[in-house]
Structure 1
Amino acid sequence: MQKVLPDHRRPNGIGPGSYDEASYALGYSKHELRRLALQAAFIRDLTEDFLRRAGLARGMQVLDLGCGVGDVSLIAGQIVGPSGAVLGVDRSREAIEIAEKRAVEGGQCHWVRFDVAKLEDFNPDRKFDAIIGRLIMMYLPDPGATLRRLADRLRPGGIVAFQEMAMPSVRSVPDGLEFRRCRRWILETFERGGFEVDMGPKLHTTFLEAGLPAPQMIAAGRVEGGPQSFVYDYVAETLRSLLPFMERLGIASAEEVQLDTLADRLRAEATENSACIMPPPLVGAWTRLDVPLNEER
């Protein structure tokens, strides 16, 4: 499933199949790290339900890939408790520092720990009961190969569980001009950056490409409306993080987006139209590995 952009569509500094600070569309700014925390609160219950369905339980040893500021790691930490352990890994040192502070503040620092590592280089020296992640596969040049390599670190009966977006499914009913422009900007930026915007539905194929048993899957999402909804700020803050990348790609300028009033414009449009806003649903896939992959062949 490796995605390589033609040369004429690659922004400067982004090579074929790369996944680095230059090619992570949302960037690593302090603002983006705050946005991640806001996003996590918005979808926390969807992820907790998914992890419990996947089989996470007290006492498990869990590896969280692409943990960011630690949201999924901390949810997993609450599920496995002090008798278990969670290791979250991410390439951003700034994100890991925030995650570590949050673990201390939440009283989980003794069993939820973090490490700075690039997934393509990460080779843990111990086994886990579960490997999990949220919104990380869409950024990997070959997610199937990454899963296959790291699944070797699972104990027999270990769980593989990932949750990704179906971004093209985002919609407003009825549609509105402001919302339609935001949808186009976001999707086009991710697509032209070489990232998989429809990773959620592709998790089934990805698991099979990794040599894993066919996963169970579920989709869940928020449905928003009315003037008090957080969804307008969610869209606006996503575009704020995307803007530097959007401008590099020539998709839209700061003058066109007008970030300072965007959330209010979206709110006014939706309220006037009595619109229902449906952010991208989260698709979760999970499976159990009865025997290690290297023993199956």
Structure 2
Amino acid sequence: MEKRLANPVVSADAPATDPRPYALGYSSHELQRLELQGALIRDFTEDVLRRAGIRPGMRVLDVGCGVGDVSLLAAKLVGPRGMVLGVDRSADATAMAERRAVETGRCYWTRFATEDLDAFACDETFDAVIGRLVLMYLPDPSATLRRLVGHVRPGGIVAFQELAMPLTRSFPEGPLFSRCVSWISDTIERAGFEIDMGSRLPMTFAAAGLPAPQMISAGLAGSGPASPLYNYISQTLRSLLPMAERLGIATAEEIGIDTLAERLCREAVEQRSCVMTPPLVGAWTTMPGWWDAARVE
């Protein structure tokens, strides 16, 4: 029998939605890039969810779910006796997430809602709230987190995974790789978003009134002609290109997006480089037993 899932509603007292445009946009290409990214970092995220204690039968809220990668990972862990609700402000993303849930056979205990996180509210209590690469895009991540964890029962789980972009590197350093890192970081930062949220997770949890988290860091590395990282970097810049041009950081001609992956590969192979993308920092904690959801505004 299909489960009755949480019924999202818009809170009349919710803060105004974030007016800043999402740096990577919502194009069909970006949705495909999110799938590529999800495949590359799936194991790192699953490890964090398992360490955090996500297990069969749990009810999980996945915020900023995008095309559903983390929601579907959580659905795998909680199984059909549990429930997952993914929330994202992009209708195209949640539509793709719903299709993927059907394709994986997890649609009976996984649902998606299109809603801005600062306007989201529901009448359900969850065993966990989770998210990946979402706090970095919020104007006040600790305030939003404090409000969202009001949907989590005392003793429940709070688990997030974010990037530490300043730790991206290549050895030996490749000039083209370094330019790509600068283009990506500068565009995201100048668009108004946090490029080192991974390092800020303990501070963000503390400001939200949460206990100090346990943490782990993991990242992708590659070398040689078969590495998928050159294409991943190129596809990230393709999504960022309109914003990079708008901010005057780089032009399409400078980036040369159509040949970028090939040139990155050639540089790395010639230099026998080890290419390392930004580490993913995972942090998780449990809700205090005294937590009163009514205190969270």
CA distance in 2, matches of 1:295, 1:126: 12
Change (3 A) 1:211 1:265: same
CA contact (8 A) 1:154 1:292 kept: no
CA contact (8 A) 1:246 1:252 kept: yes
CA distance in 1, matches of 2:289, 2:122: 19
* Residue 112 (structure 2) aligned to one of 111, 114, 123: 114
CA distance in 2, matches of 1:45, 1:110: 24
- Could you say which residue in structure 2 is the equivalent of 1:179? 177
**Does 1:139 pair with 2:137?**
yes
Q: For residues 1-297 of structure 1, what are the structure 2 equivalents within 5 Å?
A: 19-20=18-19, 23-291=21-289, 293-294=291-292
Give, in angstroms, the shift of residue 236 of structure 1.
0.3
Moved more, 280-289 or 147-156: 147-156
CA distance in 1, matches of 2:122, 2:222: 41
Cα deviation code 1:81-114 (max 9, x no counterpart): 0000000000000001000000000000000110
What SS is found at the alignment partner of 2:18?
coil
Counting matched residue pairs gives 280
CA distance in 2, matches of 1:274, 1:71: 32
Cα deviation code 1:4-49 (max 9, x no counterpart): xxxxxxxxxxxxx9735x5210000000000000000000000001
CA-based RMSD of the aligned residues comes to 1.4
CA contact (8 A) 2:63 2:87 kept: yes
Cα deviation code 1:56-77 (max 9, x no counterpart): 0000000000000000000000
Task: Give the letter for the 2:98 counterpart.
Answer: E
Structure 2 unmatched ranges of 5 or more: 1-15
CA contact (8 A) 2:17 2:119 kept: no
Identical-pair percentage? 61
CA distance in 1, matches of 2:290, 2:250: 47
Give, in angstroms, the shift of residue 294 of structure 1.
2.7
Give, in angstroms, the shift of residue 145 of structure 1.
0.6
CA contact (8 A) 2:210 2:288 kept: no
CA distance in 1, matches of 2:185, 2:274: 20
Task: Give the letter for the 2:93 counterpart.
Answer: A
Give, in angstroms, the shift of residue 228 of structure 1.
0.2
Change (3 A) 1:296 1:24: closer
Moved over 4 A (4+): none
CA distance in 1, matches of 2:193, 2:17: 10
TM-score, normalised with respect to structure 2: 0.92
CA distance in 2, matches of 1:165, 1:292: 31
Give, in angstroms, the shift of residue 152 of structure 1.
1.2
Cα deviation code 1:141-180 (max 9, x no counterpart): 1110111111111112100000000011110000111101
Give, in angstroms, the shift of residue 292 of structure 1.
5.2
CA distance in 1, matches of 2:123, 2:145: 16
